[in-house]
Each structure stands twice: as structure tokens, then as C-alpha cells.
């Protein structure tokens, strides 16, 4: 049995998935419109849609799509690309978007580590606040090391499972 093409799928079922997954992303802290745009891109066959296509699928204005895409681009979950021979932009999720998002979080954690180190130095490592900051710093340092090893295992698993 062949899988239905995007045009053959039940649009209501796809919309229900997009809204359900977006709601879960919102619960995890993502902005609502960004979550909806991301879920719509993730569910599309091409993994890329124009602003007009996103607006139509989500029943929202181009301005709402623009703001969501700006946020998603900043957190490296989507990229912008020009349609060949057109001035229109398409927004794309990549098969490694979760990897990219976590890798970019790693840079954020390193900045937090620097600031926490400064906080420990400022408060004194033996004060109650300094100890809390030092424990938070140790947590992020530990997480950074574990995340690097985890991401390497993911790359290996991805190649075995998906061939790329």
C-alpha cells in the first residue's frame, strides 16, 4: 500500500496533528504562533512552505507568519531560502532541526556558565547564594559534557537508521 500524497491526505487530520503538536510545544515554552508554524512545516512533505502557504494552512495573517519565522530563525529551527526565479521566500525545517536547536542551546549554556562563574566569584563560593550558583554551574558543565556525547551517539544512530 502506498502512502497518500500531501494532496490526498485528509486536511482536517493534518490540521489536528499540527494543532496538537503545537499545543505541546507551547506547553514546553515555545511561542504559540511559532509552534504552529514549526508544526506545519514539519508536517509538510517538502519541509518548506512560503509565507502565503503557511498563512493559508494556519488561517493566519502574513504578519503572524513573519513574526513566528523570525523567532524560529533566531533559534535555528527554520531557515529562509529564495524560490528559484522568484522573490518569494520559503521557510524550511531540516531533518536535523532538533540537533541544530540543541547545539545552539549549548552556546547559550556556555554563556550562562561564564555568568555563573562570575556570580560565584562575586558572592563568594562559601556563601549560601554562592553555593547555589556553584551547584547550578556544575549542573550546566555536567550537562554540556553529556550533551556532546549524546549528540555524537545520535549522529551514529541517525546514519544507521536513516542513512544520512
Both 53 and 127 in a single domain? no
5 DSSP 8-state letter: P
Both 61 and 81 in a single domain? yes
Both 14 and 81 in a single domain? yes
Distances (CA, A) of 41 to 8, 32, 55: 17, 14, 12
CA–CA dist 155, 145 (Å, integer): 16
Asked if the structure places residue 151 within a domain, the reply is yes
What is the phi/psi pair of residue 88, to 5°? -75, 145
Sheet holding 48-50, edge to edge: 48-50, 89-92, 79-82
Both 114 and 73 in a single domain? no
Both 58 and 119 in a single domain? no
CA–CA dist 15, 164 (Å, integer): 29
Asked if the structure places residue 1 within a domain, the reply is no
CA–CA dist 136, 140 (Å, integer): 6
Both 14 and 79 in a single domain? yes
49 forms bridges with which residues in the sheet? 91
Tell me the average confidence (pLDDT) per consecutive run of 10 residues in the chain, 164 residues long: 75 92 94 96 92 94 93 88 83 78 74 94 94 95 88 90 85
Both 85 and 16 in a single domain? yes
CATH number reported for the structural domain that contains residue 78 in this entry: 1.10.10.10
Both 86 and 11 in a single domain? yes
Both 83 and 117 in a single domain? no
Distances (CA, A) of 53 to 44, 48, 91, 120: 11, 10, 10, 50
Report the pLDDT value the prediction gives residue 1, as an integer from 0 to 100: 64
Report the pLDDT value the prediction gives residue 31, as an integer from 0 to 100: 94
Record the cell numbers describing residue 84, joined without a space: 528559484
Asked whether 103 and 71 are in contact (CB, 8 A), the reply is no
**Distance spanning both ends of the chain, measured CA to CA:** 25
Both 82 and 106 in a single domain? no
Report the pLDDT value the prediction gives residue 6, as an integer from 0 to 100: 73
Both 78 and 133 in a single domain? no
pLDDT digits (tens, 9 = 90+) for 148-160: 888 889 889 989 9
Range of the domain at 79: 6-92
Amino acid at each position: 500500500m502506498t502512502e497518500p500524497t500531501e494532496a490526498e491526505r485528509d486536511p482536517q487530520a493534518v490540521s489536528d496533528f499540527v494543532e496538537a503538536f503545537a499545543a505541546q510545544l507551547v506547553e514546553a515554552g515555545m511561542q504559540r504562533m511559532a509552534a504552529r508554524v514549526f508544526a506545519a512545516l514539519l508536517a509538510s512533505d517538502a519541509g518548506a512552505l512560503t509565507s502565503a502557504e503557511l498563512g493559508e494552512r494556519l488561517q493566519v495573517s502574513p504578519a503572524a507568519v513573519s513574526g513566528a519565522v523570525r523567532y524560529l530563525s533566531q533559534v535555528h529551527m527554520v531557515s529562509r531560502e529564495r524560490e528559484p526565479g522568484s522573490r518569494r521566500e520559503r521557510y524550511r525545517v531540516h531533518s536535523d532541526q532538533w540537533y541544530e536547536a540543541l547545539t545552539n542551546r549549548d552556546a547559550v549554556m556556555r554563556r550562562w556558565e561564564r555568568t555563573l562563574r562570575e556570580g560565584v566569584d562575586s558572592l563568594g563560593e562559601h556563601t549560601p547564594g554562592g553555593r547555589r550558583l556553584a551547584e547550578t554551574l556544575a549542573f550546566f558543565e555536567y550537562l554540556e559534557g553529556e550533551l556532546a556525547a549524546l549528540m555524537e551517539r545520535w549522529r551514529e544512530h541517525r546514519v544507521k537508521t536513516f542513512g544520512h
